Amino acid sequence: MYKTTNSGASWFQVGSTGYSIHQLEFINENTGFATYGGGAMLKTTTGGLNWIQYNMPNAFGVVLNDIKNFKIIDSNTIYGDRATRQFPNGRLKGIIWKSTNGGINWGFQQPDTNSLYQLYLGIEFADSLAGWSSNIRTTNGGGPIIINEIFPINTETPKGYTLYQNYPNPFNPQTTISFSITKKSYVNIKIYDLMGKEVIKIYANEFLEAGIYKTVLNFGNANLSSGIYFYSLYSDGERVDSKKMLMLK
């Protein structure tokens, strides 16, 4: 990797990532990011002398996770393109990567589940809210981030649909949400702030059989502030129940 300090009149080598770089961008003299096509993002805080690799999560049904193009909004918020999620019905849909803590942890956004696009290529933002990728655009930062999975606790058939109180509560920054369903369903959990804005969505990657399940929610990964939030359980698109929780920093 080469660096200039005189507007390109001369260059000198400062370090090497060891990879063939797709995109390189710095937000200040020392902190920069790069992608190389290996399903990961590289970050330096030493002006390119040393690099740390952050792998994209190979979960949520993401079957193609080779991030190529990205857009840095600030030191915490980064968007990335070129990923696909497989839904329970087998259809493949494009997603947008998003990190809210400087590339350490990644979730994704689902722009349009009715779209025929299996990949969104190229990404650009005018500010923290207005952005574009392929044939889509957002005016609200892309909506909620999907960052969690749902895991089985017990596969015996429960007597009814139940959404349990999260524990611990209050929490900082991690809490567990459990629920039971009585029949095979497509399940998701939505987290809302006090204003009713959806801030996190948690998907199962497939239809869930009857049983008891849990998900571990980490608010630190979502970069959300302290306060009261509400979480709702949805089964096949219908809201089952909602409860209140409190996150304290």
Q: Percent of the chain at pLDDT above 70?
A: 88
Q: What is the mean pLDDT of residues 45-53?
A: 90
How many structural domains compose the chain? 2
The domain that contains 209 carries what CATH number?
2.60.40.1930
Band of pLDDT at residue 130, cut at 50, 70 and 90: very high
Written as six digits, the tokens of 186 are: 């497509």
pLDDT at 203 over 80: no
What local confidence, expressed as pLDDT, does residue 61 receive?
Answer: 61
What local confidence, expressed as pLDDT, does residue 154 receive?
Answer: 84
Written as six digits, the tokens of 156 are: 């015996």
Query: Does one domain contain both 31 and 118?
Result: yes
pLDDT at 213 over 70: yes
User: 144 versus 62: which is more confidently predicted?
Assistant: 144
Mean pLDDT of the chain: 85
Task: Identify the domain boundary among 113, 143, 173.
Answer: 143
Q: In terms of C-beta distances under 8 Å and separation of at least 24 residues, what long-range contacts does 107-112 make, across chains too?
A: 107/57, 107/145, 107/146, 107/147, 107/221, 107/222, 108/60, 108/62, 108/83, 108/145, 108/146, 109/142, 109/143, 109/144, 109/145, 109/146, 110/85, 110/146, 110/201, 111/136, 111/138, 111/142, 112/136
User: 38 versus 183: which is more confidently predicted?
Assistant: 183
Query: Does one domain contain both 105 and 11?
Result: yes
pLDDT at 32 over 70: yes
Query: Does one domain contain both 212 and 138?
Result: no
Query: Does one domain contain both 125 and 21?
Result: yes
Query: Does one domain contain both 133 and 163?
Result: no
pLDDT at 145 over 90: no
Query: Does one domain contain both 123 and 204?
Result: no
User: 117 versus 83: which is more confidently predicted?
Assistant: 83
Band of pLDDT at residue 196, cut at 50, 70 and 90: very high
Query: Does one domain contain both 113 and 173?
Result: no
Question: Residue 144, preceding bond cis, omega within 30 degrees?
Answer: no
Query: Does one domain contain both 33 and 137?
Result: yes
User: 48 versus 105: which is more confidently predicted?
Assistant: 48
Are the beta carbons of 164 and 153 closer than 8 angstroms? no
Give the domain range for residue 28: 2-143
Per-residue pLDDT tens over the stretch 171-180:
998 899 999 9
Band of pLDDT at residue 64, cut at 50, 70 and 90: low
pLDDT at 201 over 70: yes
pLDDT at 60 over 60: no
Q: What is the mean pLDDT of residues 232-237?
A: 91
Query: Does one domain contain both 191 and 234?
Result: yes
Query: Does one domain contain both 112 and 85?
Result: yes
Written as six digits, the tokens of 109 are: 């956004």
Task: Identify the domain boundary among 143, 174, 195.
Answer: 143
Task: Identify the domain boundary among 127, 143, 159.
Answer: 143
Distance CA 144, CA 124 (A): 18
Band of pLDDT at residue 65, cut at 50, 70 and 90: low
